[in-house]
A and B are shown apart, each in its own frame.
Chain A
Amino acid sequence: MDGANLTRGDALRVESISKAFGGLKVFHDVNFTMPAGGLLGVIGPNGAGKTTMINIISGRLPPSSGRVMLGDTRVDSQPVYSNAGRGLVRSFQQTATFNDNSIEDNLLSAIRFSGKDRSVLERLAVLLEKFGLVENWRRDANLLPYGLQKMLGLTMALATEPRMLLLDEPAAGLEKSERGNIDDYIAFAQTEFNCGVLLVEHDMDLIKRLCPQVIVLDGGKLIAEGAPGEVLARKDVIDAYLGGSDEEDDHAQHS
């Protein structure tokens, strides 16, 4: 696969992406770069185009113009599975597991589809233990509590040994007490797999905790980028996105 030609953790460059669905423009000329092995937060109000951005980077949707580069490889408009083979792997907002399959089988599926071998499970052992997946090893995924299903889906993405993870609201739907798992997950992805992480998230506490850099999308435009402390203090960002306190927005998102 072409993935072998890539060095560990290539930079991800989104270059002048525009996207329109019929007459509806979702993006205008969005540019940003994510350094190799970096961690970039993506925030913005509902409908800002955050999930569409992940769909374009992962290859699921072609952009109307512009391109996305991972290292020297163009990844937009490529089949999603080819990009996954290059190490560019996404997660989903909803749970993303195979029903009627045990945790073990779900992880083995992820390993098989990505052409890896079972030794990945040993690399993941710490995480599997921490999330409580080991103690439910043979239970079917659809019988697990929501939080566990979500962590299983995320761990499956990691089982493909990605170089760049696109996380679509990993904390959505998790209890406050479970959100620490996301911190552990991202830290593990970066240290153990040397993996870059693009984090789309509504949980501002999580963003502030983890991300050295964020970009803000609003109405299909990139309106701000920088350290979360600075960016979130900017008036245009507050007007566009927050409206009120973080907490209220968080509730609105999940109700």
Chain B
Amino acid sequence: MEGFIATGLIGISLGSQYTLLALGFTLIFGILGVVNFAHGGFYVMGGYVAYYCSAVLGLPYVVALLIALAATFVLGWLFEVLILERVIDDHQATLMVTMGFYLVLATGILVIFGAESPEFSFPISGVWRVGDVYFPYANMVVLGACLAAIVFVFWLVYRTNVGRSLRAMAEDRTVASALGMPTKILFPFAFALATGLAGLTGALVTPILALAPHVGDPVLAFSFLTVILGGLGSVTGATIAAFIVGLIEAYAAVYLGGSKGALTLFVLVLVILVIRPQGLMGKEVRRA
């Protein structure tokens, strides 16, 4: 029973990380209609910026987090304005451009920091223990930070005028801009928000998991999986799906073991998609 609870906590913790990644991914898809292959790159960059600020420059970890968030936000903004905006209406071009940018980011990090994992560990150690349930403090802090960020995103998207505008753009950007919505400001903002979330997640999670130039690959895969499961473009769907994925992954890993865990996850997702091809919260595509 204790193992069951502890595994559940890990699953929720994983779920909150996947949520942050998937929220950014789904926002970009929903609002700009772009599948952002560079998403994992911003996660890696967030990790390295946080590493450099805290381990090399000696800044407090919280400051390093904020700098990682700001750096990935700014880079995302610039990337959208300078590159992506030029090809925004061409689906194939956006795929090529974001994938190319991921390669540039990952290779740039490889050149600057080398291929080996740097020494970057979470500043808080120790384990919280109630009865026989163990939960590392580091995971608890990450969980808390992720949940706070998720609440912030939901507040922004559902309770503010900016969020209403973002949702309207996701619904129909042609109509929204025809009514006067400034897409030239909101597109880069949405993109930067998403990349900032990926960077923040990287800065929070890589000290617990691993930091290396290539750790963005599985991030992209899991973001994709989560967002398709939740329904492309759906914020709520992505959140629910992320927690499902996190919990399945945790339980399958503990009770079934390594590779069977991943297999279980993919089979379950496959089954769900056979039953609901549009994802949990996705809408059926209607054509005029």
Do A and B assemble together?
Answer: yes
Nearest chain B residue, comparing its CB with the CB of A111: B179
Cβ of B85 to closest chain A Cβ, rounded Å: 11
- A2 CB, min distance to chain B CBs, angstroms: 13
Which listed residue (A58, A81, A101, A109) contacts B182, Cβ 8 A? A81
User: B166 to chain A: closest CB distance in Å?
Assistant: 12
Q: Determine which of A80, A94, A101 lies in contact with B177 in the assembled complex, contact meaning CB atoms within 8 Å.
A: A80
Assess the B179–A113 pair: CB atoms within 8 A: yes
Residues of B contacting A: mostly: helix
> Is the interface on chain B under 10, 10 to 19, 20 to 34, or 35 or more residues?
20 to 34
**Would you give the shortest CB distance from A57 to chain B, in whole angstroms?**
12
Which segment, of A39-47, A82-90, A128-136, A243-251, faces chain B?
A82-90
Return the chain B residue nearest A109 by Cβ. B168
Which A67-89 residues sit within 8 Å CB-CB of chain B? Answer: 79-81, 84-85, 89
Q: Which of B171, B177, B178 contacts A99 (CB 8 A)?
A: B171
Known pairs A98-B168, A98-B171, A109-B164; A114 contacts B183 (CB<8 A): no
Instruction: With both chains docked as a complex, state the minimum distance between the C-beta of B114 and any C-beta of chain A, in angstroms.
Output: 44
Q: How far is the CA of A99 from the CA of B286 in the complex (A)?
A: 12
Tell me if B176 counts as interface (CB < 8 A to partner A): yes
Nearest residue (CB) in B for A97 is B175
Q: Are B171 and A85 in contact (CB under 8 A)?
A: no
A85 to B177, CA, bound (A): 10
Q: Is B161 an interface residue (CB 8 A)?
A: yes
- Whether the Cβ atoms of A112 and B164 lie closer than 8 Å is yes
Give Cα A60–Cα B173 distance, bound, in whole angstroms.
Answer: 12
> Which residues on the B side are within 8 Å of A153 (C-beta)?
175
| B172 & A112 in contact (Cβ 8 Å cutoff) | no
Q: How many residues of A contact B (CB 8 A)?
A: 27
Which one, B164, B167, B168, B179, contacts A89 given CB within 8 A? B179
Q: A81-B182, A109-B164, A113-B168 are in contact. Are A98 and B175 (CB under 8 A)?
A: yes
Q: How far is the CA of A112 from the CA of B169 in the complex (A)?
A: 13
Most buried by A among B175, B181, B288: B175
| Residues of chain A within 8 A of B176, CB atoms compared | 98, 109, 113
Q: How far is the CA of A114 from the CA of B179 in the complex (A)?
A: 6
Q: Which of A60, A94, A99, A113 contacts B180 (CB 8 A)?
A: A113
Q: What 9 new A-B contacts, CB under 8 Å, besides A81-B177, A94-B288?
A: A60-B174, A80-B178, A81-B179, A89-B178, A89-B179, A96-B174, A99-B283, A113-B165, A157-B178
Residue ranges of B at the interface with A (Cβ–Cβ < 8 Å): 161, 164-165, 167-168, 171-172, 174-184, 283, 288
